[in-house]
Homo-oligomer: A and B are copies of this chain.
Amino acid sequence: MRFLLSDEQREFGRTLNALLGAAGTPAAVRAWASGDHKPGRALWARLAEAGVFGLAVPEEHGGMGLLPLELTVAFCELGRHAVPGPLAETVAAAVFLHRLGDGAAAGEWLPRIASGEAVVGLCAGSPYALDADAADTVFVIQDGVARRTGRHGPVQPSLDPARRLSRPLDGTVLVRGPAVAAAAAPALDLARLVTAAQSLGLGRALLTATVDHARQRTQFHAPIGSFQAVKHRLADTLIGLEFAQPLVHAAALAVAAGAPAAGREIAAAKVAAGEAAYAAARTALQLHGALGYTEELDLSLWIRKARALRDAWGTPAECRARVLAGAGASAEGPL
Interface residues of A (CB under 8 A from B): 227-229, 232
Tell me the nearest residue of chain B to A230, going by C-beta.
B228
Tell me the nearest residue of chain B to A232, going by C-beta.
B229
- A227 cross-chain contacts in B, Cβ below 8 A: 228
Tell me the nearest residue of chain B to A228, going by C-beta.
B228
- A232 cross-chain contacts in B, Cβ below 8 A: 229
- A228 cross-chain contacts in B, Cβ below 8 A: 227-229
A237 to chain B, nearest CB (A): 15
A57 to chain B, nearest CB (A): 48
- A229 cross-chain contacts in B, Cβ below 8 A: 228-229, 232
User: Given the complex of chains A and B, what is the CA–CA distance between A229 and B231 in angstroms?
Assistant: 9
A128 to chain B, nearest CB (A): 30
Tell me the nearest residue of chain B to A229, going by C-beta.
B228
A231 to chain B, nearest CB (A): 8
Mind listing 5 A-B residue pairs with CB under 8 Å? A227-B228, A228-B228, A228-B229, A229-B229, A229-B232
User: Given the complex of chains A and B, what is the CA–CA distance between A228 and B227 in angstroms?
Assistant: 7
User: Given the complex of chains A and B, what is the CA–CA distance between A232 and B229 in angstroms?
Assistant: 8
User: Given the complex of chains A and B, what is the CA–CA distance between A229 and B232 in angstroms?
Assistant: 8
User: Given the complex of chains A and B, what is the CA–CA distance between A110 and B210 in angstroms?
Assistant: 64
A221 to chain B, nearest CB (A): 15
User: Given the complex of chains A and B, what is the CA–CA distance between A228 and B225 in angstroms?
Assistant: 12
Of all A-B residue pairs in the complex, the 5 with the closest CB atoms, nearest first, are A228-B228, A228-B229, A229-B232, A227-B228, A229-B229
User: Given the complex of chains A and B, what is the CA–CA distance between A229 and B235 in angstroms?
Assistant: 12
A210 to chain B, nearest CB (A): 18
A223 to chain B, nearest CB (A): 14
A287 to chain B, nearest CB (A): 14
User: Given the complex of chains A and B, what is the CA–CA distance between A229 and B227 in angstroms?
Assistant: 9
User: Given the complex of chains A and B, what is the CA–CA distance between A229 and B228 in angstroms?
Assistant: 6
User: Given the complex of chains A and B, what is the CA–CA distance between A232 and B233 in angstroms?
Assistant: 12
A46 to chain B, nearest CB (A): 45
A214 to chain B, nearest CB (A): 14
A91 to chain B, nearest CB (A): 41
A177 to chain B, nearest CB (A): 42
User: Given the complex of chains A and B, what is the CA–CA distance between A227 and B229 in angstroms?
Assistant: 9
A238 to chain B, nearest CB (A): 16
